[in-house]
Structure 1
Amino acid sequence: MDRIPIVQNDPWLEPFEGTFIEWKELSEQKERELTGGRSLVDFAEGHHYFGLFRDEKGWVLREWAPNATRIFLIGAFNDWKELPEFELQSIGEGNWELRLTPDALKHGDLFALSVYWEGGQGKRIPAWTRWAVQDPDSLIFNAKVWMPENPYEWKNDFSGLTEAPLIYESHVGMAGEEPRIHTYDEFRKNMLPRIKKAGYNTIQLMAVPEHPYYGSFGYHVSSFFAPSSRFGTPDELKALIDEAHRMGMAVIMDLVHSHAVKNEVEGLGRYDGTRYQFFHEGGRGEHPAWDSYCFNYGKPEVLHFLFSNIKYWLDEFRFDGFRFDGVTSMLYFDHGLGKAFSSYTDYFTPNIDYEAIVYFKLANKLIHQIKPNAISIAEEVSGMPGLASPQEDGGLGFDFRMAMGVPDFWIKIIKELKDEEWDVGRIFYELTAHRQDEKVVSYAESHDQALVGDKTIIFRLIDKEMYFSMRKDQPNLTVERGIALHKMLRLATASCAGGAYLNFMGNEFGHPEWIDFPREGNGWSYQHARRIWSIAEDPELRYHWLLDFDRDMIHILREERLLENPEVRWITDNKADQILAFQRGDLLFVFNFNPDKSFEGYGIQMDPSKFRVILSTDAHPYGGQNRIDQDIIYYTLPVSKLSSNHYLRLYLPARTAVVLKKESYKRIR
């Protein structure tokens, strides 16, 4: 019997082949149940039926609230009173509808629902609302009519990336330098040119759907169809994406379908008076670590809501894909908390939530039916086999998984090992260790390491000296070490990346401050919820060395289309010398992690060839000592006769890395 491709690629999965087949059968069965012979794209049309919109007769409002007994539309237009003409009518299957004349509402009106159920009543922001705003004084949320006279007209077509994603992870609100919340318009005007110049081709926007607590980083969502009004209007977000597309950049967003905020007025918590409308009942419906509710992925109405949400962002805002947050939490009944996952048997247990598996299979199928070139990324820490394998091979169909072990690895060795104890063989293994039938998004650090309570790489390397010794006229060995290693770590991570590379905004130049959103513990200050770009542009400070290096590194990745070449070929890892060398395409990467020893004429065994240096961490523009001559053409030399082994002889200064490009070479016979 022929094995399914995922098992052919990894024979150790053979005992679990039946599980992969079962997942496929379950997803196909669920698709038939949901669509009734139609397509998933047709099924995911809830946003064109539910919510507030206009038709040829006037205004229409529809909501799904099966436990409700009465629902009223209240707002500024009726003095927030429950009037008979604003009462929704039950139309069956838990759905409610209200029809109003064209002059009953207008663009910008505030509104909400007053929902009654047996034994209770509560104000609710409609689940399908497209705009929700918070009063700055009372902090109360209300929905807001979004129906401008002149809807946004898209100016630029964009069919998706044709190269490997180089992702610039961004948060609109903290993307400016002033201690306040910044806007979509400011991001469009100020950040898009900066990202374009830096060479990244994909922007990952965090915190897009509305969330009541700014400090949640957008991961406690309340209104799943409403772009956060903190940053501006829906049309201003569209203009941001439109301009990014004009520049040739894709825009993806963090999609949080792993859980929802517990808030009841401005969220989905007890929306119709029950806990179980959108979420599981009992303990299964509450996340023990996140203080949030967990969706019931087995319920057709919930899948309709979530799949429509996916289609809404892809169609209405023209996003180019998603980074799915909290995938591990969704895959397992215990959310993967405290699990080691040291063998395949740890994955394929009764702990797997098959309903979540089916959700992922259908969600990824839907995404690529709508936009074939869309990007889907799984933030997943357990290492579930098949997660980012094609569905036709038996996998769940994500395009990429996050290589979450890489930043953890860098933090571990920086914290726990002396420089002379760094094992270059282990470094290469950790940077390249991923399933060969999957692609990963590699990164040295993300927003997680920049949050208060943790430390970025540059802060771990330099610590308090960041505040006192970053001027160029202040020699400091700690700072010099930190800058040298910062460049080397990022170059190693990017050059070994398993298909895509990610950087969080500001990390590329070693942003000196952590991220701490306004909260009671800091006096509701915005002091650390921003990015100080000016220090990276100040010629008197060292930060611009890191910024310039990152830009040139990213340029090389793109120019050489390096990440599209899956093979990272090991050349050598001399643990005693701490020399690491590997080849990818026509580029040779050589690292000397030794903190003390420089090597002259160091031999790297290669086929007969010639190389030229295209990047050196030791170059003057990046704060180096310029010890490597970048004008020399390097030829391999035989040990004895021409047919013997050839070696590239290099000068490798301590704590530096060099990138050489192979050039055409005619071998002498």
Structure 2
Amino acid sequence: MLPVDQGILNSVSNAEYYNPHEVLGAHLGTDSGEGFVTVRVLRPFAKTVTIITLDGKYEAKHEYNGVFTAVFAAQKNGDEWAVPDYRVQTTYADGTVLNEDDPYRYLPQIGDMDTYLFAEGRHERLWDALGAHLHHFDDPLGDIEGTAFTVWAPNAHAVRVVGNFNGWDGRRHAMRELGSSGVWELFIPGVGVGEVYKYEILNANGVWEMKADPMERSHEVPPATGSVVSDSTFKWSDEKWMQQRAATDPHSGPVSIYEVHAGSWKKSIRDYRELAEELVAYVSKEGFTHVEFMPLAEHPFSGSWGYQVTGYYAVDSRLGSPDDFKYLVDRFHQAGIGVIMDWVPAHFPKDSFALGRFDGTPLYEDPDPTRGDHPDWGTYIFNFGRREVRNFLVANANFWLSEYHIDALRVDAVSSMLYLDYSREPGQWHPNIYGGRENLEAIDFLKEANATAYKNNPGIMMIAEESTAYQGITAPTDAGGLGFGLKWNMGWMHDTLEYLHEEPINRKWHHNEITFSMVYAYSEHYVLPISHDEVVHGKGSLFGKFPGNDWQRYAGVRALFAYQWAHPGKNLTFMGNEIAQYGEWNHDSSVDWNALNWQEHRQIQKLVADLNALYKASPALWSQDFDPAGFQWLTSDDADHNTLSFMRIGSQGETMVVVVNFSGEAWQDYQVPLPKGGRWNEVLTTDDEQYGGSGIHNGSFEAQEEEYHSRPYSARLTIPALGAVFLKPED
């Protein structure tokens, strides 16, 4: 028998030893040239333990505190001695007999290159290395199915796996630490899909604490907090979409986004598969090019709308399994619709079962409280300067884009990452090494995340929600930028809604608010959002933001949509806006679909669908969104009439003239400057009766050779009150 120091044996028997495989399992020895095997197993409260091989059964004797030991002859393989395959039969005092495989006879299921790359912060598919992974082994005593568990906890004294499979007693499933990597691992035979598990960590403070797996792929439905072993059997049917995605630059194409909170679009919908049946059809009918989901990573509190993530690699279990979500994405792709998901690397909640103080130390969070605690949200902030943490997040972006075929990530709260003094008073923050307020580590992380995402997933988009004047958000990383593809234009959103909140008679005094966006329109590559943040927490619905009677409010909504779709930049609107629902969004309720019992709401819905159709069919409205050559003012200074006119120009010279009247009365014989003569057609007016308008039309008309506003041609038209018209020259 190979002896073991009693101190180590004591530690192993209490499952507190950093390398239990050193003691437990099978170990070869020789005596007088003959090979023998010493097998030690930990079976607390066992009556008898027997080791079973193909050659025979060997009774194990109790050695110390639940550790049983058996010694028998080794196998001869050529000139080498070898350990035979074996099983463990355990009998308990109540008569229970268990025949089990031994977790401690298996080599690590994670390779040295994996731990090396992780330590360097360069493992771009980290989810393949860490977490819970099913494995199959062929074995003379019967094929083995089980799960390899791997977790990073560098300051832990010991780590165990616990679950229903061991009665939540981790003593029989202590993990081993792999060198100095801080990674712990254990393969447990017999643990399969659907098993709930956690890691029981003897943390740096000497306290046992249960934690969910940071790399979990699936999670119990909250408020339960266990991780769930999962395995995908889903077969994708979106090959055509993915091939086209890889060969296309979406930034230069049409992008019209429908933002959705999956849990409250329709409360009657129970899961992702039901959502696929109804939401895909709806988004298709309305003509949006993309759907954007508010965060669908696992989060414990539904009232956070997903913005306080605990399971960064797990899809929200409230609506189903990982394969259910893949089904939803697949159905969108088959319908020709891209899928965007909100991603939240800016912070994470302090729930004790999750990432916070994971091994008893600030592991994922910055240890400096002036950098690691978020004063607004009561959450932790990631330690962006630590290689392993940065790797965890960079790989996570790739995970969603690769494993779930997500087409774009909208990165939440970028501003809070960029600045050390974000939401902090003097004395509550410290400058960076150069004396500035920028968070240099977070900036480097964002650059790496964007560059890695674009490199590994051609055809995707990375979109920043960023509200400051930080320069170069969408500039390439090799030019000193952050490398995002698009940025939400928060200034446009604020100025536009402030302007439209004014009574029409007062708007002439605020005309600069509606034109100012073109001063900086090409400073970044913008998305124009009317998002969930603008229709919640007492801000009222989109419909409710407009002054006047109901007709004027509906007309105002129509004019806003037309102006937004025509303005340079991609566009986004939140669910419920497209039907002009009366009430603001409440995540505990559905969109007010009952509003569609009234034709005024159906008419707004019809306009949005027609605007999307016109938009997608008109390269003038999107092919040069980020090039000043794609836009020209015709009249920008007509404050007295609250009216704008401008021209959008496509990359092949396509032309669309848009006139928007934000006043409360129609302008007859209104002179509109035009770039060329010939016949022009009114291709859409928001005042059409089918949209609830008064029915003013301009039809087809000839541009007159009458110079106006430095243009050689013009036309005298009727521009409806609170309306917009789209004019296109005949080829």
Q: With structure 1 as the length reference, what TM-score do the two structures score?
A: 0.82
Match of 1:233 in 2: 321
On the 8 A contact 1:424/1:580 being kept in 2, the answer is: no
Other-structure match for 2:307: 219
1:243 to 310, 323, 331: 331
SS of the equivalent of 1:203 reads strand
| Matching of residue 636 in structure 1 with residue 636 in structure 2 | no
1:62 to 144, 150, 162: 150
Deviations 1:188-221, CA, capped at 9 Å, x for gaps = 0000111011111111111210001001010000
Whether contact under 8 Å (2:504, 2:663) holds in the other structure is no
Change (3 A) 1:273 1:640: closer
Give the % identical residues: 27
1:569 aligns with 2:632: yes
Alpha-carbon distance in 2 for matches of 1:597, 1:307: 53
Q: 2:499, 2:514 within 8 Å by CA — same for their partners in 1?
A: no
- Where does residue 312 of structure 1 map in the other structure? 399
Deviation at 1:45, TM superposition (A): 2.0
- Which stretch of structure 1 is more off in the superposition, 507-516 or 64-73? 507-516
CA–CA distance in structure 1, aligned partners of residues 572 and 580 of structure 2: 15
Aligned equivalents of 2:499 and 2:295: distance in 1?
31
Q: Distance in 2 between matches of 1:338 and 1:68?
A: 35
* 5+ long unaligned stretches in structure 1: 1-33, 340-347, 463-476, 518-525, 665-669
The answer for the alignment partner of 1:24 in structure 2 is: none
Aligned to 2:6: none
Change (3 A) 1:37 1:81: closer
Counterpart-to-counterpart distance in 1, 2:594 and 2:711: 54
**Partner residue in 2 for 1:291:** 378
Relative to 1, partners in 2 of residues 1:295 and 1:653: Cα closer, same or farther, differing over 3 Å?
same
Query: What amino acid maps onto 2:226 in structure 1?
Result: N
Specify whether residues 37 and 122 from structure 1 end up closer, same or farther in structure 2 by C-alpha distance, changes over 3 A only.
Answer: closer
- Correspondent of 2:557 among 486, 505, 518: 486
Match of 1:470 in 2: none
Cα distance change on mapping 1:442 and 1:423 into 2, 3 Å: farther
* 2:124 alignment partner in structure 1: 44
Kept after mapping to 2: 8 A contact 1:431/1:493 = no
**3-state SS in 2 of match to 1:212:** coil
Matched, 1:598 2:667: yes
Larger Rg: 2
Change (3 A) 1:99 1:353: same
Contact conserved, 2:132 with 2:147, CA < 8 A, in 1? yes
Q: How does 1:322-337 map to 2 (within 5 A)?
A: 322-335=409-422
Alignment match, 1:29 = none
**What amino acid does structure 1 have at the position aligned with 2:227?**
A
Tell me the residue number matched to 2:584: 514
Partners of 1:591 and 1:389 lie apart in 2 by 32
Q: 2:726 aligns with which of 659, 664, 669?
A: 659
1:174 is aligned to 264
| Mapped partners of 2:688, 2:414: distance in 1 | 41
Indicate if the aligned counterparts of 1:336 and 1:382 stay in contact, CA closer than 8 A. Answer: no
* 1:351 match: 437
Amino acid corresponding to residue 369 of structure 2 in structure 1: G
Whether the 8 Å CA contact 1:420–1:594 is kept in 2: the answer is no
> Runs of 5+ in structure 2 lacking a partner?
1-113, 138-145, 427-433, 650-654
What are the within-5 Å matches in structure 2 for residues 416-455 of structure 1?
Answer: 416=502, 418-422=504-508, 425-434=511-520, 436=522, 438-443=524-529, 445-455=530-540
Counterparts of residues 135-154 of structure 1 (less than 5 Å):
139-147=223-231, 151-154=233-236
Give the 3 Å change call, closer, same or farther, for CA 433–238 of structure 1 in structure 2. farther
SS in 1 for 2:539: coil
Query: Match for residue 521 of structure 1?
Result: none
- Secondary structure at the aligned position of 1:381 is classed as coil
Q: Distance in 1 between matches of 2:509 and 2:356?
A: 50
CA shift for structure 1 position 430: 3.2
Give the structure with the larger strand fraction.
2
- Alpha-carbon RMSD: 2.6
Counterpart residue number, 2:644: 580
User: Could you give the per-residue CA deviations for residues 457-516 of structure 1, whole angstroms, max 9, x where no partner exists?
Assistant: 211226xxxxxxxxxxxxxx6000101111111211221132x11111121111222223
3-state SS of paired residue (1:334) = coil
Describe the SS at the equivalent of 2:383: coil
Q: Does 1:126 align with 2:213?
A: yes
Equivalent position SS for 2:665: coil
Alignment of 1:601-616 (within 5 A): 601-616=670-685
Which string of whole-angstrom CA distances, capped at 9 and with x for unpartnered residues, describes residues 171-203 of structure 1? 21111154xx74211220000111011111111
Residues 389-409 of structure 1: CA deviation (Å, up to 9, x unaligned) = 122333211000000112211
Bigger shift: residues 309-318 or 212-221: 309-318
C-alpha contact (below 8 Å) 1:279/1:296 kept by paired residues: yes
Q: Mark the CA change 1:605 to 1:48 in structure 2 (over 3 Å): closer, same or farther.
A: closer
Segment drifting more, 164-173 vs 543-552: 164-173
Instruction: Indicate the SS of the match to 2:273.
Output: helix
Q: Is residue 2:287 matched to residue 1:199?
A: yes
- Spell out the pairing of 1:384-399 with structure 2 (5 A cutoff): 384-399=470-485
- The Cα offsets for residues 252-296 of structure 1, whole Å up to 9 and x where unpaired, read as 21110001111121x201111112444333221000011110001
Indicate yes or no: 2:344 matched with 1:256: yes
- 1:61-111 Cα offsets, whole Å, 9 max, x none, are 110011111111111111111232x1111112211111122x2x1211111
Residue aligned with 1:55, SS: strand
CA contact (8 A) 1:303 1:359 kept: yes
Q: Secondary structure at the match of 1:244?
A: helix
579 and 311 in structure 1: CA distance in 2 versus 1, 3 angstrom threshold: closer
Letter in 2 for 1:329: S
Structure 2: how far apart are the matches of 1:655 and 1:45?
A: 52
Letter in 1 for 2:616: R
The code of the aligned residue for 2:574 comes to F
Whether contact under 8 Å (1:68, 1:273) holds in the other structure is: yes
2:675–2:711 contact (8 Å) kept in structure 1: no
Q: CA deviation at 1:453?
A: 2.1
Q: Indicate conservation of the 8 Å contact 1:41/1:369, yes or no.
A: no
Cα distance in 1 between the residues matched to 2:121 and 2:157: 32
Q: Determine helix, strand or coil for the equivalent of 1:43.
A: coil
| 1:111 is aligned to 2:188 | no
Amino acid at match of 1:508: E
Pairing 1:502–2:572 present: yes
User: Which one scores higher on RCO, CA 8 angstroms, separation ≥ 6?
Assistant: 1
> Residue in 2 aligned with 1:549?
607
Q: Does 1:89 align with 2:192?
A: no
C-alpha separation between the residues in 2 aligned to 1:386 and 1:106? 47
Alpha carbons 1:431, 1:496 under 8 Å: kept: no
8 Å contact kept, 2:546–2:553: yes
1:381 aligns to what? 467
Paired letter, 1:129: E
Cα distance change, pair 491–280 in 1 and its aligned pair in 2 (3 A): farther
Pick aligned residue for 2:166 from 78, 89, 108: 78
Which of 460, 464, 481 is 2:545 aligned to?
Answer: 460
- Residues 579, 592 of structure 1: 8 Å contact kept: yes
Shift of 1:60: 0.9
Q: Secondary structure at the match of 1:172?
A: coil
> 1:37 & 1:221 partners in 2: Cα distance?
25
C-alpha separation between the residues in 1 aligned to 2:303 and 2:401? 26
When the two structures are superposed, what TM-score results if normalisation uses the length of structure 2? 0.75
